[in-house]
Amino acid sequence: MECKSSDSDFIELTDSKLNKFQEALRFKTVSYDDIDYNKEELGKYVKFIIQNFPHLMNCTFVQWEVVNNYSLLFTVKGSDSSLKPYLLMGHLDVVPASNLEAWDAPPFSGQILNGFIYGRGAIDMKHSVMAILEAAEYLVIKGIVPKRSFYIAFGHNEELFDGSEAYKLAQKIVKQGVTELEFISDEGMPLSEGLLPGVSVPAASIGVSEKGSLLMKLSVHGEPGHSSMPQRESTIRILANAVNNLETNLHPSMLGQGVETDMLEQLVPEMNIFQRVLMANIWFFKPLLSWVMSMKPLTSATIRTVTAVTKFQAGIKNNIIPPHAEAIVNHRIHPSQTVDEVIKFDKSVIADDRVNIEVLNKMEPHPVAGYGKKDFGFQVLKTTINQIWPKALVVPAIMLGNTDTRFYLNFTKNVYRFSPTYMYPGDAARFHGINERLSIKNYEQAINFFYHLMRNADRADLVSTHEGHHDL
């Protein structure tokens, strides 16, 4: 049933709730490269949370603790111990803000312009952190003891890809004797308008798997020289050729082999007749569909392993030919591929033994969570999404980025990645970019989304007995 403002359990976004969100955005909880993060601001943010949700913090069926100074773990005890608990995840840190002069409002101001709240973390992911807390606070105020226990885990270094804090939070849950969770909900795909040409309704994509990752360093070593007598091939040229080969030779399309096939099939009813014919015969039209989907970064990343060159370093002086050049390459690996397959492909397109390849970090793609009518966690999210956004078409998808969920996979493979964020065409650039913002209405929706998720997790009528899993 649709969530309406006239409902008795509708959570109105009061000035107090809005001000708390704005204040959360003012904490500069920035994570930089390696293991560097703003400890002072994180400490202030954690203290702010503890002080501003008094009912949650003092509830008899809620236990909470600060883990390693800056992370938070909440244990909400349900009334039915026979039900497996679930986990809501989030992170308190944000990425740095750059090009400050290009922002319409300062990135750590929480300023409101034309109905939007601006700030680093507005969509990644302080909106979800604060919305979860507001929903849980409201649950306690209403005197509702959930049937199913659940955990809320907020790490503080997710943006570093270090994951050490998420691991510690997971171990805290293990120490409580928990070995299995019903499902996990973490940040992920937003609601999007114009996901594909011809699809007019907003699509709510739930990430049922997560891409793997591969971080590599390419390096070339040579002899130094003077700029007046350049060598025929400098280290820069050799490395630049390798980088060019990686960027111009896309990894093969995996269309038809993964979750994206089911996603497209479920979008078919919203398409025109020509598109329906194409989608009904993906096996035949794969080359054409792959070509079309490769035109946009978002859809291209959905069907293949992607390559991003994020650093290129060479040279120490204007008139010296550098003896060394190196570049950092970041791959996000499609669930239908492996790390070894990606490395083999890279070597084949670089085709130059002078380029040394060093693996800095690697992670295989995540297993695929069930997304059929019998899969409880997926149905909880789907039902909740449709209560808040009735016109949205809920589809399974691949999470393109990486999250801390990798440290919780021992609890369950039913990991779902969705952000209650409504994004319009062009908004994707705001994610980790300039003018990150969230509408006031969307923040109210996010609070109600998490409240209804908590209520729906207690329902026993969400699972059909007539459809099997869509496991791959």
Beta bridge partners of 153: 73, 89
The tokens of 293 are what? 């989907």
Tell me the C-alpha distance between 301 and 281, whole Å: 21
| Cα distances (angstroms) measured from residue 184 to each of 90, 188, 411 | 11, 12, 9
| Cα distances (angstroms) measured from residue 111 to each of 388, 423, 448, 452 | 25, 19, 23, 28
DSSP state of 94: B
Give me the catalytic one of 93, 260, 346, 436. Answer: 93
Tell me the C-alpha distance between 212 and 209, whole Å: 9
Listed as own residue / partner, the contacts of 322-325 with beta carbons closer than 8 Å and 24 or more positions apart are 322/224, 322/234, 322/235, 322/236, 323/221, 323/222, 323/223, 323/224, 323/235, 324/219, 324/220, 324/221, 324/222, 324/235, 325/219, 325/220, 325/234, 325/235, 325/236, 325/238, 325/239
Contact 49, 156 (CB under 8 A): no
Contact 65, 163 (CB under 8 A): no
Beta bridge partners of 66: 72
The tokens of 321 are what? 């030919």
Contact 379, 208 (CB under 8 A): no
The reply to whether 93 belongs to the active site is: yes
213, amino acid identity: S
Contacts of 64 (CB under 8 A, 6+ apart): 56, 57, 72, 73, 74, 75
Contacts of 243 (CB under 8 A, 6+ apart): 218, 309, 312, 327, 329
Tell me the C-alpha distance between 130 and 49, whole Å: 9
Tell me the C-alpha distance between 100 and 107, whole Å: 7
Contact 361, 245 (CB under 8 A): no
179 CB-contact burial (10 Å; exposed 0-12 / middle 13-18 / buried 19+): exposed
Contacts of 418 (CB under 8 A, 6+ apart): 185, 187, 188, 189, 204, 205, 206, 207, 381, 385
Tell me the C-alpha distance between 220 and 272, whole Å: 51
Give me the catalytic one of 124, 137, 158, 427. Answer: 158
The tokens of 347 are what? 């070597």
CA 33 from centre of chain? 18
Instruction: Give the active site residues.
Output: 93, 158
